[in-house]
Amino acid sequence: MPFVQRTFFLEEEQLAFVWLMRTFGITQGEAQRIIDRGRLLCHGETLPDKSARISGEVEVVYFEPQSRGNAPILSTPDFYLFDKPSGILVHPKKMTTPYSMLDEVRHFGGQHANAVHRIDKETSGLLLASRHKEAERFLKGAFERKAIQKSYRAWVQGRVEKAFSVDAPILLNDDYGPTKHKVFIHDQGKRAYTSFMPLQYDERLDATLLECIPHTGRTHQIRIHLFHVKHPILGDPIYGTSYETAEAYLEERLSPEERQRHTGADRLMLHAYSVEFNYKQHWKLFSRNDFSQEKTAIAPPGKREFNLTNGWKIETEKPEEVLS
């Protein structure tokens, strides 16, 4: 487990945040966050404030990365580029999270390295991570300014023969319980625009590989837009499934076999394929993963319990919001 608790003994009294900075080679802000989160204990009790002085036995809970060998595919003096597997979080969700990509980022880059954007746990593909704070500020700012262009690959249900785009506003769901959908297509949502282009069609699987280019950055944008046009991403356990299937997935009760049967694949068939940006020079970077070969995770039509081209049974209390 990446978060560990270690005991130290201080012979001389000193400021807690200064000791943390010197011991772990971190900034004052990082040291103060450890104290704020109750991760520094003196004589078994959490410290009351950041200016406290400590001595004697102290305990620190901190992140100690544990690599699983997912090395960066590109390393520069400023950033790393990783090819994230599907099913892996970018950041630990809680202190008991056994593994995330942050383990690899910190293992290779040290304490100041950090992922600069998010990818859904289910999505595989490119992840940028800064190697120092200056790069982190720049790259995070570039993502916020939409100065970094991304493209994705997705295996979707059915045949798609022509390029198309979806310009449909997305509204965050304020009542996640009834449908399990995190977002909806809705007139009151924020503008969302995505371009799609078919790359290949697999007749045996009745599945099309699409290039997906999001021109805006809304939550689940590609997933909801493809569901909206009735070509959902295969393996999506939220958009296009029943309430029961979505609930089983979220509660980690959905087996790989059940997931293939109810969603068409045993993982979300979405892959972050490329990133393009300017940072000291022009970069256009691509995943090394041949996502076209990932179709082995897709169940053939005869083993799926849905067929959207013949009408998808939507079990939701808000169908008009999903399919508007």
Strand partners, 284: 276
> What gap in Å lies between CA 324 and CA 320, rounded to an integer?
5
Query: β-strand 40-42 against 53-63: which pairing, if any?
Result: antiparallel
**Selection from 313, 15, 278, 301 nearest residue 147 by Cα:** 278
> What gap in Å lies between CA 166 and CA 79, rounded to an integer?
33
Query: β-strand 164-167 against 207-214: which pairing, if any?
Result: unpaired
Are residues 84 and 119 in contact, defined by beta-carbon separation less than 8 angstroms?
yes
Q: How many Cβ atoms are within 10 Å of 242's Cβ, its own excluded?
A: 16
**Selection from 286, 291, 302 nearest residue 269 by Cα:** 291
Q: Which residues are catalytic?
A: 120
DSSP codes joined into one string, 267-300: S--EEEEEEEEESSSEEEEE-SS-GGGGGGGBPP
For residue 80, the number of C-alpha atoms closer than 13 Å in the C-beta half-sphere is 24
Query: β-strand 183-185 against 74-75: which pairing, if any?
Result: unpaired
SS3 label, residue 135: helix
> What gap in Å lies between CA 323 and CA 8, rounded to an integer?
58
Give phi and psi for 96, each to the nearest 5.
-95, 0
Q: How many Cβ atoms are within 10 Å of 66's Cβ, its own excluded?
A: 14
